[in-house]
Structures are given as C-alpha cells and as structure tokens.
C-alpha cells in the first residue's frame, strides 16, 4: 500500500484523551461516543441544548448513545436541528431563544453534534447564553468581547474543521437585523479562549456515513489550515511541525477513505489529522485562503467550505511560494510531489501540481463553476475588507496582501490553471 508501518502501531479502538485545544479533554478513538456518560458525569448539567443539522446526528449513530446516557441520568434536553452549511446569526439567535428556558443555572450545557457548522453554532450559542442583552449580530460584529460562555461539548462527525480542538467559530451575517439586504454578506470568524470546548468527542466511526466528496472537502479544509498556519508571519515550529504530519496523513489515507468510506482506519487517521490541524492554526493562525473563501461562501451560502478553499488554494500557494517556498515544499510535498525544493521559480508548477491533486480527490471546481465571472472580482475584493476580522488575517500573510494581490488570486481562480 505504500503506507508507513507506523500507522499500524496505534489500535484505532483504543480511546485516548487529548488535553490541548480543549478545557478538559477530547476523547479520541473508535468507540469514543461511549464516553458520553462519563462526560455528562463530569459536567453534571442541569439540562442540555443540542445543536445539529437535519438527520446527520441520527444517521451517524451518535444520537442513540447520547439519548441513552441522558435518560439514564434523567437529564432534560432540547434539540435544535436547523443548522445548515455556513450557519447564520439568525439561526444562532433562534437556538438561544429555544434553550434559554432550560438554563436554570450555570451548569446548562450546549452540545454541538456534527461538523464545523453545528459545532461553531454551539460555541456561539454558549456565549450568548451568558449575554441575554446581546445577539448573534453583535457577537459577530465584534461589538462586545466575550468573557464567559456556557460549558461546551462537541461531538464531532467530520474530519475537517478541527473546531473541536480550538478557540475559533464562524457564522454568516446575510441580512440586516430586519431582513434588509446588505451591501456585502459576510462570514466573520470569532476567536476567543472562552469558546474552547470543555469536552470533545472524536469518534471516527461516526464519520463513516460521510460520502466521498464531503470527506474530500473536509480533508482539504484540514490541509488548508496547516498550509496557512505554517506560513503566517506568526508561525511557529509547532504549527509547521503539525502541518507536516497532517498533509502526510491526508495524502496517505484520503484515497483509501474515498475508495471505501467505511474504512475505519482511514477515518481514524483523517479525524486525527483534522484535530491536529485545529491545534496547528490555533497557534499559527490563518491568512489568505480563509480570508478570501469567507467572501465566497457568504455570497454562495450553500458552498461547502472545503470546496471554496480548494478553488482558490492553488493561486494562493503560487502567490506565497516565492516567500515561503521552503516551508511549503516540505509540508505540501506528499501531495504535490517531492521534486520541489522551494525555489521561487517553482511557484507555478507547484500550484498546478496542487490543482491536479485536488481534482484527483474529486474537488476540481473553479469559481466559474459557481457562477462567478471576472465582473464579480471587484465585488469579492471589497467584501473581504467588509468582513469583520479579515483584514487581520491579511495582515499576517507572508506576502503583502493588497488589493492587487487579492484581485489576482480571484482572477486566476476563475478557471483551471494553464
């Protein structure tokens, strides 16, 4: 298979605990969902508000053990299952209103079940449960600084965002408070230590129902996290070192996962890679790819985040390669090939190799496939600056991220490279 033997040294059903990126621990391994009772005994909630999307919490197999544990402990709960891809501040506000009557004391627990969308929504809801005078818009317009949040439990069903292991959350503001149209819909990122999950559960078996394309999109998100975290101006040996492992694991195991979505060993390693990707960008932060993609998925709310990233990632790697090619050649080598040395002259060839790899795992779309044209580029450039927090990400890119560069990236991402 060409897969290094080190992977065979870790039994996938040995549930272990990770202690970074969370306030208490992350239970990791096949069967980790069975630790839900232990988690509830630790947190002792007066009630639980569950945040999820339609169906996935049941189809994944997560819901049965959760309900059993709640019933055994006689813990009341409320289920909000209206979260969609790229959750909105309106859905966050709706869930807060639904949960508030159950929050009898500070032990009320907010639990996200799903991928990044339900988990990020849960983090946001946990903050607003402590701030009844605020709402999702004021939170994501950065009109106050959160200093507290309700306890957060993340039950992760995918292998991309790494949000179960970090202090980030995102939500979209698509309209004004009265439903009025905005000049630019935006998708800001909230960064706060108060939204580190209290406990997380990473059970690879729960991701086995993900279809191949979504699995690939999730893996692309993890790869982008480390490509950016390893190349910001605040990068560290930790963010880069984790990046080396994350990309190698994705290169080895994503093809197996696509070929057989029920391969639990592949699921195990991809979920591990995503979790480590979360830790990587928790320390090294992010820059161009996420700053620009958030504009794309604000304008196309149904756009899967990993697909949006994939469309612009090659042009971004080409743009930053002359500055950080030595790092990129080492980290991205498993997917673009080992021939690259980091020389500036390799930038275009490396970007084309990345684009070819993305297409090989089923993520070959470009901006034109989602209706974007050259006429939309100025609007997209403006929307990057309109989104709260994105100028901060641009400021830590390894190259000068001015409008000329952003325009060039969007333009080169309209169609496949030549």
- According to the model, what pLDDT value does residue 10 have? 85
pLDDT for 357 beyond 60: yes
CB 314 within 8 A of CB 351: yes
Q: If you average pLDDT over residues 88-113, what whole number do you get?
A: 98
**Beta strands at 168-170 and 109-114: parallel, antiparallel or unpaired:** unpaired
DSSP string, 177-217: TTSPEEEEEE--EEE-GGGS-SEEEE-GGGGTTS-HHHHHH
Percentage above 70 pLDDT, the chain = 99
pLDDT digits (tens, 9 = 90+) for 166-225: 999 999 999 999 999 999 999 999 999 999 999 999 999 999 999 999 999 999 999 999
Q: Over the chain, what is the mean pLDDT?
A: 97
- According to the model, what pLDDT value does residue 404 have? 98
Indicate the burial class of 133 (C-beta count within 10 angstroms; 0-12, 13-18, 19 or more). exposed
The rounded distance, in Å, linking the Cα atoms of 256 and 48 is 37
- According to the model, what pLDDT value does residue 6 have? 72
Q: How confident is the model at residue 133 (pLDDT cuts 50, 70, 90)?
A: very high
- For residue 16, the surrounding DSSP H or E stretch is strand 16-18
- According to the model, what pLDDT value does residue 129 have? 98
- According to the model, what pLDDT value does residue 8 have? 80
The rounded distance, in Å, linking the Cα atoms of 152 and 194 is 10
- Model pTM? 0.96
- According to the model, what pLDDT value does residue 4 have? 54
- According to the model, what pLDDT value does residue 1 have? 41
Closest by CA position to 114, among listed 63, 86, 153, 156:
156
The rounded distance, in Å, linking the Cα atoms of 372 and 379 is 11
pLDDT for 3 beyond 80: no
CA distances from 59 to 54, 79, 206, 207 (A): 10, 16, 9, 10
pLDDT for 2 beyond 50: no
- According to the model, what pLDDT value does residue 273 have? 98
């Amino acid at each position: 298979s060409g897969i290094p033997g080190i992977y065979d040294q870790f039994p996938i059903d040995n549930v272990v605990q990770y202690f970074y990126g969370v306030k208490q621990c992350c239970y990791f391994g096949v069967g980790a969902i069975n630790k839900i009772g232990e988690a509830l005994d630790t947190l002792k909630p007066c009630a639980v508000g569950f945040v999820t999307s339609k169906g996935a919490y049941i189809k994944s197999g997560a819901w049965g053990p959760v309900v059993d544990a709640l019933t055994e402990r006689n813990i009341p709960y409320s289920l909000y299952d209206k979260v969609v891809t790229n959750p909105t501040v309106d859905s966050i506000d709706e869930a807060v209103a639904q949960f508030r009557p159950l929050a009898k004391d500070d032990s009320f627990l907010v639990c996200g079940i799903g991928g990044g969308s339900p988990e990020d929504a849960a983090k946001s809801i946990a903050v607003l449960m402590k701030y009844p005078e605020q709402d999702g818009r004021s939170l994501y317009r950065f009109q106050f600084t959160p200093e507290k949040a309700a306890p957060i439990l993340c039950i992760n069903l995918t292998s991309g965002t790494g949000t179960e292991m970090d202090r980030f959350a995102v939500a979209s503001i698509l309209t004004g408070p009265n439903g009025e149209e905005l000049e630019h819909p935006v998708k800001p990122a909230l960064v706060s230590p108060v939204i580190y999950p209290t406990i997380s559960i990473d059970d690879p078996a729960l991701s086995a129902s993900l279809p191949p394309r979504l699995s690939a999109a999730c893996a692309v998100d993890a790869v982008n996290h480390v490509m950016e975290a390893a190349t910001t101006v605040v990068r560290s040996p930790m963010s880069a070192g984790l990046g080396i492992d994350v990309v190698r694991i994705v290169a080895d195991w994503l093809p197996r996962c696509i070929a057989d979505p029920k391969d639990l060993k592949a699921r195990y390693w991809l979920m591990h890679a995503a979790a480590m990707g979360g830790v990587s960008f928790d320390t090294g932060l992010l820059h161009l790819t996420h700053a620009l993609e958030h504009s794309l998925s604000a304008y196309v709310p149904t756009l899967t985040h990993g697909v949006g990233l994939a469309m612009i990632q090659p042009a971004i790697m080409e743009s930053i390669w002359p500055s950080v090619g030595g790092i990129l050649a080492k980290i991205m080598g498993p997917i673009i090939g080992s021939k690259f040395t980091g020389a500036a002259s390799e930038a275009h060839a490396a970007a084309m190799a990345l684009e070819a790899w993305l297409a090989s795992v089923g993520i070959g779309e470009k901006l034109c496939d989602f209706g974007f044209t050259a006429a939309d580029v100025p609007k997209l450039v403006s929307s990057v600056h309109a989104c709260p927090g994105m100028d901060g990400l641009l400021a830590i890119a390894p190259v000068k991220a001015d409008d000329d560069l952003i325009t060039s990236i969007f333009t080169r991402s309209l169609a496949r490279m030549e």
